Structure 1
């Protein structure tokens, strides 16, 4: 059966709940439609989160992200909607989504939205270090 866009985010139990650890994902093929022009907007999404009890299943994340390709959405609104949906599904200790939209009208737009679990503060040893962007292939 072919895969289809789907708003359902599936999760699985965090195998190491006793430890804070950083999950980093780069999603280079995000697409939605400009609500003003109807033209496609393209972005690379950078997802960083510290799971609590659940982690996101990758295929469901791919299909969820794919589900926006025919939706009209302003950059700010769609970035925050994705954060809200991920926060609801995962209930992570911490989550940050950086949406780096490709140039439109000579302007690059980057939107950063965060969610922090109530009462969670990172331990001093937690370092949310920077990952350099990856090419689409590794060699």
Structure 2
């Protein structure tokens, strides 16, 4: 009853005064009082906010393990392309960070690379020191070891170091694999990853 009266009083005051009541006053009139709020939850304990517990181990961590899954179309030579624009490692001589954009083009045979494991694999190089040529060839060897693809090419475009850009390209072809007369691997725009 008291709430209704105060609401009428404030509306009567608003009609005599041409100015509307401030927003804070209007909101306060609509909120239930403490005694009304208690009445709504009669006999029920006040709900405690649920805190989300962090898992004991982080959900993602760097790993040298690359996972695979069966090729869904092994009867066909088709191109799978991965773009890794934020690769980082360290220069083994200076300890300074090196950055590269990796492009992996592969024609799978029995197995394809699982993306999350590939991401964790690339992440594992972040604190390692290695020369551009070594890193690029090691990555090629590791992917070939687990997937045994018909064809794979890795292009590493290293960011400028001492005024020099370095690009490293490494390839592998499966013995006995005979490609169709022309293997035209589509190129992608560096900025957007879209076909050109």
| Same fold by TM-score greater than 0.5 | yes
Q: Which of 78, 103, 106 is equivalent to 2:163?
A: 106
Taking structure 2 as the reference length, the TM-score comes to 0.67
Which portions of structure 1, spanning 4 or more consecutive aligned residues, are displaced by more than 6 angstroms? Answer: none
2: CA distance, partners of 1:71 / 1:96:
23
Q: How does 1:109-128 map to 2 (within 5 A)?
A: 109-124=166-181, 126-128=183-185
Per chain length, whose mean CA-contact separation is higher, i.e. which structure has more relative contact order (CA < 8 Å, sep 6+)? 1
Structure 2: where are the runs of 5+ without partners? 1-57
| Residue 62 (structure 2) pairs with residue 5 (structure 1) | yes
Q: Work out whether residues 83 and 193 of structure 2, in 8 Å CA contact, stay in contact via their aligned partners in 1.
A: no
Say which structure is richer in helix.
2
Distance 1:52 1:128 in 2: 16
CA distance in 2, matches of 1:89, 1:15: 17
Structure 1 residues 4 and 95, CA gap change in structure 2 (3 angstroms): same
In the other structure, the counterpart of 1:90 is: 147
1-structure distance, mates of 2:93, 2:84:
25
Q: Size of the alignment, in residue pairs?
A: 137
Q: Which has the larger radius of gyration?
A: 2
Match of 1:25 among 82, 90, 96: 82
Q: Which residue of 2 aligns with 1:46?
A: 103
Aligned CA RMSD, in angstroms, stands at 1.5
In the TM superposition, what whole-angstrom CA distance separates every residue of 1:20-72 from its partner, at most 9, and x where no partner exists? 00011110010010001000000000000000000000000000000001111
* Corresponding residue number in structure 2 for 1:80: 137
Residue 125 of structure 2 corresponds to residue 68 of structure 1: yes
Higher share in strand: 1
2:116 is the alignment partner of 1:59: yes
Gaps of 5+ in 1: none
How far does residue 125 in structure 1 lie from its aligned partner after superposition? 5.5
